[in-house]
Structure 1
Amino acid sequence: MYADDLKIYNICSNYEVLTKDIATIYNWSLKWLLPINADKCNILYLGSDNPKQTYYINGTELTKCVSLSDMGVIVTSTLTWSEHITKVVKKANKILYLLGKTFAKADVNTVTKLYKTYVRPILEYANCVWVPTLQRDINLLESVQRRATRIPYGQVRPSYPDRLNLMKLPSLADRRVRGDMLTTFQAFTNISSPIRHLFPVNIDGRTRGHRFKLEKDNFRTSIRQTFVTNRVFTEWNALPPEVVESASVPRFKVNYDTFRNRR
């Protein structure tokens, strides 16, 4: 619950359960003089077999939608991320355009710092939640970094891989893998982590490698395959104990980067 935003999510076989929950929230809002504007409320249905029941607040039918923004991330009814990626790329390109105009004569070090401070965070916000699965989306995200690395070189410039090396920048795809590893590490090391239960440990696999090896999840859909606990499975289980059992987040980053650079 937020100052001006309220969301209800429920998995139920009987839509009456969610109907009662909505009524309970509405009555609560009246009691505390925090009225809910039904005209601004939306329903987002997830799942291909969703019955898509109609819901009401005080007699007003709630508007059905196929996508909505939740904490800055666009969630769609198909749980695909092309719409969100298009939005963040557009936003990042606007910032990059201003930086290019303002710092057209800046050196490599300055442009790198500007990009890492003002542009890259836009492309990576909450990326443990969303991940590009289509090659066109992967290329679209990487195109922003390609454009950023051109700024200090003008018309005559090295190739993109060489520019990354000169500016000490990994590809965004590699950054996403690193972010997933960091999310997994934090889930295991933070006792109060709200996502710890999403990472089941494979008890049978403890005799080899590190002691936090993940259990394989049996998935039947491509959407489930790209869920964070499934997409980190191979990379996380292959990490050596000295990386997984790092004493802190900063130490994990150093150990992971060292391990990746050796590969």
Structure 2
Amino acid sequence: MIGLIKICFETVEEKMFPNFYNTLIRPLLEYCVQAWSPHLKKNIEILENVQKRATKLVRQYKDMEYEDRLKVLELPKLEDRRIRVDMILTYRLIKGDKGVDYTKFFSLANIPYNLRRHSKQIARTHMNLNVSTSFFSRRVIEKWNNLTEYEISAPNVSIFKSRYDEKELNGR
């Protein structure tokens, strides 16, 4: 897709890049990411290299470092996007928005609510297989449990997204 854009356009202006990227490239990189999210470093780097190459389409930023291009173009790393998508799906499952019983994926912990934890903690279960750590139901536990009560008590998914994004922006 990046090659086709290069063939069709001599240069990509900064104003045009978000349209190209958000409609043509990123959907391919994020399609069904909850099911296939990479866990091996080499696979994560392969995906990140696609975004790295795509950000070089903007001629005036071509010689900048990748991290700087991301900041200027206001793009997160793909790994951060995958975590965000996982958190949104977890929120929707627990709230019942998806019409799927979340207990098929994980169970809530029976621990008393206190100031350090929110009320929807996911129970940690022991698995013998190392490969299971990359399963959706396993990889979301730590990140979800680190969210605040303020975030998970959002009345709808849009507010959850904005609260999550606000935390991530302030956390950087």
- Specify if TM > 0.5: yes
Task: Answer yes or no: is 1:228 the counterpart of 2:140.
Answer: no
Count residues with an aligned counterpart: 169
- Alignment partner, residue 206 of structure 1: 113
Give the alignment's TM-score, normalised by structure 2. Answer: 0.91
Tell me the alpha carbon deviations over residues 200-227 of structure 1, each in whole angstroms, 9 at most, x when there is no partner: 1001153342111100011111221111
What RMSD over aligned residues (CA atoms) do the two structures have, in Å?
1.7
Task: Compare relative contact order (CA 8 Å, sep 6+) and give the higher one, 1 or 2.
Answer: 2
Quote the Cα distance in structure 2 between the aligned partners of 1:222 and 1:255: 32
Describe the shift of the 1:249–1:103 C-alpha distance in structure 2 as closer, same or farther (beyond 3 A).
farther
Quote the Cα distance in structure 2 between the aligned partners of 1:118 and 1:156: 20
Quote the Cα distance in structure 2 between the aligned partners of 1:130 and 1:200: 22
Matched residue type, 2:142: T
Describe the shift of the 1:195–1:176 C-alpha distance in structure 2 as closer, same or farther (beyond 3 A).
farther
- Alignment partner, residue 15 of structure 1: none
Quote the Cα distance in structure 2 between the aligned partners of 1:127 and 1:181: 12
- Alignment partner, residue 153 of structure 1: 59
- Alignment partner, residue 247 of structure 1: 155
User: 2:15 aligns to what SS in structure 1?
Assistant: helix
Describe the shift of the 1:114–1:192 C-alpha distance in structure 2 as closer, same or farther (beyond 3 A).
closer
Tell me the alpha carbon deviations over residues 226-255 of structure 1, each in whole angstroms, 9 at most, x when there is no partner: 111211111110111111111111111110
Describe the shift of the 1:205–1:147 C-alpha distance in structure 2 as closer, same or farther (beyond 3 A).
farther
User: 2:46 aligns to what SS in structure 1?
Assistant: helix
More strand by share: 1
Give the alignment's TM-score, normalised by structure 1. Answer: 0.61
| Residue number among 91, 96, 105 corresponding to 1:185 in the alignment | 91
Question: Percent identity among equivalent residues?
Answer: 28
Structure with max Cα Rg: 1
Quote the Cα distance in structure 1 between the aligned partners of 2:133 and 2:32: 18
Describe the shift of the 1:157–1:221 C-alpha distance in structure 2 as closer, same or farther (beyond 3 A).
same
CA shift for structure 1 position 154: 5.9
Question: Contact between 2:56 and 2:62, CA under 8 Å: does it hold in 1?
Answer: no
Quote the Cα distance in structure 2 between the aligned partners of 1:155 and 1:163: 6
- Alignment partner, residue 131 of structure 1: 37
More helix by share: 2
Unaligned runs of 5+ residues in structure 2 are: none
Matched residue type, 1:204: I
User: 1:204 aligns to what SS in structure 2?
Assistant: coil
User: 1:239 aligns to what SS in structure 2?
Assistant: coil
Question: Contact between 1:127 and 1:176, CA under 8 Å: does it hold in 2?
Answer: yes
Unaligned runs of 5+ residues in structure 1 are: 1-94
Quote the Cα distance in structure 2 between the aligned partners of 1:155 and 1:254: 29
Quote the Cα distance in structure 1 between the aligned partners of 2:132 and 2:112: 23
Tell me the alpha carbon deviations over residues 98-126 of structure 1, each in whole angstroms, 9 at most, x when there is no partner: 11222332211211221111111111111
Quote the Cα distance in structure 1 between the aligned partners of 2:18 and 2:43: 23
Describe the shift of the 1:237–1:231 C-alpha distance in structure 2 as closer, same or farther (beyond 3 A).
same
Question: Contact between 1:199 and 1:229, CA under 8 Å: does it hold in 2?
Answer: yes
